[in-house]
Amino acid sequence: MDKMFDLILIGRGLSNLLFISQYLKAHQNLKILILEKNKKIDERFISTWQGPGLIDLKKEYNIFPIQSFNEISVSEKNNKIKRKIKPYKYQTYQYSEIINILLNQIKARGIKILYSEVSQIKENKKYVSVSTNKEIYKAKYVLNSSPRHETNIDKSEPMLYQYFIGTTIKKNKDHNIKECQLMNFIQADKEIAFNYVIPFNHNSLLVETTAFGRLKNFDNLEKLHQISLTQYKTFKSLSVEKGIIPMSISQSFKRTNRIIPTGISGGFARPSSGYLLLRAATWAKESKNKNLNQIVFKEKIITHFLDKVFIKACYFYPDLAPEIFMKLFNAKCIQSIIRFLADIPSYKDLIHLIKTSPKKIMIYALFK
């Protein structure tokens, strides 16, 4: 194999594949190589918003949800807020299915994927040298989604970890849950914890226990998760997933002349929520007509600022965080909150968000 390429993708992750599936529409003659260390694709679920003003994932990428919701809920203790969200939908996708669909689109264009672990990346003036445990490859540009989550974070800024354990279960009778339960807050010590529940059909559902904490304590989270599962009584466990997403406003896109970071390491995950799919899909479409030396990812200044205030509030006042979320999801216009979460708020939406937020908590956080 010729070892010189126009572009090498390090990692077969979501951001890289979304990008190259779009980029090939406008740049058909590029010589491209994908390097991935694992043949096995993670079996997990990923969710996002769809609706007016948002990139249409079905139209642009031919990916389809396995479940779609017109109604969501949040709850704390005995207080439950249930909201209709039309014209928006909250949709859940199977991660492995998305990856395979995108891979098939890319392979149909003659792009090869090699399963080999990258050991070194060295940037030179005219090319990037990528060493694996088998060969050394060269490329004019590199898209790198390999994790650098800890190394590119300014830890002088308040940051949290969003970490979770999810179990897909099957009951022998109906569970009677119709809506997506986005946040069902549970008691936790010095961190924010909640259950996230997605019903797939009448007797199967994903039950995920998530924490926002300064540290990652999976042992304690596992205990909370097992307690949460007991409410479903008799069930069969189908699969388990775990993950960590840094929640930091200092983790931003920082490219060099020839190396373009993507995914979480590129700052694609929304600091306040961890949402990545929409950001990556939108960035990929917006980048397809650009030259590789022009590719950047820019956050919106106002949403970045509000995310910073939100993270500080959760960092310094975790016991008050449920109040923040309950007020937001009880907003008069829930669509404004969804547009903010989906990264497309109008100025009117932002004003509504600020009016709805618990001002005392947010002002204290702002000046911390």
Read off the pLDDT of residues 249-286 as tens digits, 9 standing for 90 and up. Answer: 877 788 999 999 999 988 899 988 888 999 999 999 99
Instruction: Locate the domains of the chain by residue range.
Output: 4-42+93-153+249-294, 160-247, 301-366
Q: Is the pLDDT of residue 201 over 90?
A: yes
Per-residue buried b or exposed e for 155-186, using 16+ beta carbons within 10 Å of the residue's own CB: eeebbbbbbbbbbbbeeeeebeeebbbbbbbb
What is the CATH number assigned to the segment(s) 160-247?
3.30.70
Question: Using CA atoms, how far apart are residues 290 and 23, in angstroms rounded to an integer?
Answer: 9
pTM for this predicted structure: 0.93
Tokens of 294: 């022009």
Look up the CATH architecture of domain 4-42+93-153+249-294: 3-Layer(bba) Sandwich (3.50)
Q: Is the pLDDT of residue 306 over 90?
A: yes
- Tell me whether domains 4-42+93-153+249-294 and 160-247 share a fold: no
pLDDT band at 149 (very low <50, low <70, confident <90, very high): very low
With tokens 């996002």, the residue in question is 48
Q: Is the pLDDT of residue 148 over 80?
A: no
Average pLDDT score over the chain = 93
Q: Is the pLDDT of residue 152 over 60?
A: no
